[in-house]
Amino acid sequence: MTGAAAFTITGDTCTGISLTAGGTCTITVQFAPSSAAAGTATLAAASVNPAVTATDVLTGTGVVHRRFLYWTDQFGTDQGTIKSIPLTGTGPPATLVTGQLSPAGVAVDASHIYWATAAAPGAQALIQKAPLTGSPPTVLIDDPELESPAGVAVDASNIYWADSASGIVYERKLSGGLIIPFNLSNQFTDPAGVAVDSTHVYWANSSDGTIMEARLDTLGPATTLISGQASPWGVAVDSGHIYWTSSGDGTIKEAPLAGGPVTTLVTGQDNPEGLAVDSGHLYWANNDISGTINEAPLTGGPVTTLVTGQPSPVGVAVSP
């Protein structure tokens, strides 16, 4: 094979064999571009008989998957908005959704953003969604059981949220159906941020300083993972660790999911609330007078301020 280096042979059942008439063998080629440029290559097969040859021209174009950071602004000049910035590149924040009533938690999947809004006199609390392009919102959940929804999380099939008024964490199918509480008999104290992985849902109880989990397959009972935290709010999880913001002491911490010591990754923050993680970084909102969106390496280290001057940033989510 000749041509662009993005094409490589990854499988070969042809070399070293003799094919009879009508016989077949297989060459597998992978296209793994490092940029958005187009590339071509030629795969050639030749026999010891010079007259028996074949060629196949291969083409491909790389696609750059742009990733974004999202957050909610509850109050102030931009109250009731959901905004975003690209994780790479420059430019001011883009406002995707406006006119929301005190939006709190926000979550994102490959196609939509999801968020919770508060109840008010004459207005029901809602959980809504919108395409990532920021088109008009669609009401996903409008139910009397929604009192004061805070953190929101999604996986491939369900949405999860914490209701700080009822002290209950719930789930429901994204496609609709019954709202199911996690361990209704054990109500929690001001549950806030929510995260989910393939086996558990996690949340922070901001009033009693605990981080909890419950199995997805049994809907509870809830287990306390961490205690003694200073008003924890945002929660995020990856394959090995759980992370949370402690708004009471301005820190971001982590602990192994399998159990182990708590590590403080970031200090000196002003009322950190919403939190998100990806494979390399932490992202959070400082809901203070400066209203900043920040990032730091997953291992801790220098804090980078991505956005300033936000009126009241709360929930944070990052593109998968």
Q: Read off the pLDDT band of 54 (50, 70, 90).
A: confident
171-229 pLDDT per residue, tens: 999 999 999 988 766 677 899 999 999 999 999 999 999 999 999 987 767 899 999 99
* Domain count of the fold of the chain: 2
* Cα separation, 89 vs 45, whole angstroms: 44
Domain that holds residue 18: 2-61
- Is the same domain home to 23 and 74? no
- Is the same domain home to 267 and 182? yes
Question: Which is higher by pLDDT, 37 or 212?
Answer: 212
- Is the same domain home to 9 and 98? no
- Per DSSP (E only), the strands in 76-217 are 81-86, 94-97, 106-108, 112-117, 126-131, 138-141, 149-154, 158-163, 168-173, 180-182, 191-196, 200-205, 210-215
By mean pLDDT, which of 99-108, 162-171, 178-187 is the weakest?
A: 178-187
Q: Which of 61, 80, 107 is the last residue of a domain?
A: 61
- Is the same domain home to 24 and 171? no
The answer, yes or no, to whether residue 69 has pLDDT greater than 80, is yes
- Is the same domain home to 136 and 106? yes
- Is the same domain home to 43 and 99? no
Task: Report the pLDDT value the prediction gives residue 297, as an integer from 0 to 100.
Answer: 96
Q: Read off the pLDDT band of 121 (50, 70, 90).
A: confident
- Is the same domain home to 94 and 148? yes
User: Which has the closest alpha carbon to 199: 180, 227, 219?
Assistant: 219
305-318 pLDDT per residue, tens: 999 999 899 999 99
- Is the same domain home to 46 and 72? no
- Is the same domain home to 143 and 27? no
Tell me the mean pLDDT in the region 61-85.
Answer: 85
Q: Which of 61, 93, 108 is the last residue of a domain?
A: 61
Strand order in the sheet with 200-205: 191-196, 200-205, 210-215, 223-226
The distance from CA 78 to its chain's CA centroid, rounded to whole angstroms, is 23
- The whole-model pTM stands at 0.80
- Is the same domain home to 119 and 44? no
Tell me the mean pLDDT in the region 121-141.
Answer: 88
* Cα separation, 34 vs 80, whole angstroms: 39
- Is the same domain home to 257 and 116? yes
The answer, yes or no, to whether residue 252 has pLDDT greater than 90, is yes
Q: Which of 15, 46, 61 is the last residue of a domain?
A: 61
Q: Read off the pLDDT band of 64 (50, 70, 90).
A: low
Task: Find out whether 215 and 199 touch, Cβ atoms under 8 Å.
Answer: yes
- Is the same domain home to 171 and 87? yes
254-268 pLDDT per residue, tens: 999 998 999 999 999
Task: Report the pLDDT value the prediction gives residue 303, as an integer from 0 to 100.
Answer: 95
Q: What CATH code is carried by the domain that includes residue 147?
A: 2.120.10.30
